[in-house]
Amino acid sequence: MITPFDDAYFMKKALQEAEIAFEKGEVPVGAVIVVEDRIIARAHNLTEQLNDVTAHAEMQAITAAANFLGGKYLHNCTLYVTLEPCQMCAGALYWSQISKIVYGAKDTERGFSTMGTKIHPKTKVVQGVMEKEAAQLLKRFFIEKRNLN
């Protein structure tokens, strides 16, 4: 039986966050963190708005989820993010001990797997969920950005 709460359902929520980032002129990456089929954190890139290179969607989501849970560990939580996390975000996810990471588009230049960054051994990683939609949004963003400059 398929419930409405599958990986695609939550990735759509992350894509909605990526759209918000797109509208703000941020690189369109969105993230949600889920525990027991409940979204406890929503975030998108804020690096331009905050003038902060660490304000990636994943970092914002980790902080929001930890605040919600009242602790630094994200046991039994799943991160849904539209783009493969970079090594900075992967490091933070490692330390958070998140249980599962689901991402859409692969980042062949800066993604944690390309950079050789390790994820916590107990963390399950699922790639390619709604990959096409996530990649198209990124592509559209960079085409528009090039055409404006």
Residue 131 appears among annotated catalytic residues: no
Query: Does residue 90 contact residue 117 with C-beta atoms inside 8 Å?
Result: yes
> For the whole model, what pTM was predicted?
0.94
Render pLDDT for 42-96 as a digit per residue (tens, 0 to 9). 999 999 999 999 999 999 999 999 999 999 999 999 999 999 999 999 999 999 9
pLDDT value of position 134: 97
Number of residues that this document lists for the chain? 149
Q: What is the mean pLDDT of residues 24-39?
A: 97
CB atoms within 10 A of CB 36: 9
Given the residues 26, 36, 48, 58, the one annotated as active site: 58
Q: Does the annotation list 44 as a binding residue?
A: no
Q: If you write DSSP's letter for every residue of 74-110 in order, what string do you get?
A: -TTEEEEEEE--BHHHHHHHHHHT-SEEEEEE--TTT
What's the token pair of residue 101? Answer: 């990471």
Q: Does the annotation list 86 as a binding residue?
A: yes
What's the token pair of residue 96? Answer: 């958070």
Render pLDDT for 1-26 as a digit per residue (tens, 0 to 9). 455 689 999 999 999 999 999 999 99
In order of their start, the domains of the chain are: 7-142 (3.40.140.10)
pLDDT value of position 149: 59
Q: Does the annotation list 120 as a binding residue?
A: no
